[in-house]
Chain A
Amino acid sequence: SQTIHQWPATLVQPVGSPLSLECTVEGTSNPNLYWYRQAAGRGLQLLFYSVGIGQISSEVPQNLSASRPQDRQFILSSKKLLLSDSGFYLCAWTPGQGVGGYTFGSGTRLTVV
């Protein structure tokens, strides 16, 4: 069966520090991968998506970046965090072929102080 792992679960970082959030999927090949951000009590904002290794599409210009160094690994990064980067970050995957809806990771709660 397929599983998705996302870590860390919580993170408190000072302004200006770097960020690295990791997401990995097991039990499938060539998944489509997504990073979303959710402000408290708000909806989901798509940040990045990837349909293959090294293929990253950005939906929102900002100081965040994403990379997909391996087929089932998706990393969200920042060189210098801003206060506005605080939020709840969710990774998700869908099958590369066919339709399956999203399966989400458990999320990372990021607080920038």
Chain B
Amino acid sequence: AQTVTQSQPEMSVQEAETVTLSCTYDTSENNYYLFWYKQPPSRQMILVIRQEAYKQQNATENRFSVNFQKAAKSFSLKISDSQLGDTAMYFCASNGGYAGNMLTFGGGTRLMVKP
């Protein structure tokens, strides 16, 4: 079975600083996708960024970027210039190559951005 692990249950960062959230996964597939989702206090799940495993270039979306290490099965999220609105739960997920696109989620990291 596929697993996704987030080893940091909680993290905090000062406003305007940079923070990195860790994620490791396990899959036997070669072609798969990885995602980071944000869940703010409203509990709406929002897609932050996605990475295609066959692409070597790390994905970037404004202040959010990933460090994708395929051999190590690591997929970390870096948030630059942290803002108070970044306070949320962050979930890492992988579709593991499933044809049905079903995602396996990590347990989440609660990020607090401090003023």
Contact = CB atoms under 8 A, between A and B. Distances in A.
State the main secondary structure of chain A at its contact with B. strand
A106 B91 contact: no
Interface residues of A, number: 24
Contacts of B93: 101-102
A43 B100 contact: no
A68 to B, nearest CB: 14
A95 B101 contact: yes
Contacts of B47: 101-103
Contact of B101 (A41, A43, A100): A100
Contact of B95 (A92, A99, A109): A99
A94 B91 CA distance: 17
Contact of A101 (B35, B43, B44, B108): B35
Given A32-B101, A49-B100, A107-B45, 15 more contacts: A38-B43, A42-B107, A42-B108, A43-B106, A51-B100, A94-B100, A94-B101, A99-B33, A101-B50, A101-B95, A101-B101, A101-B103, A102-B45, A104-B44, A109-B43
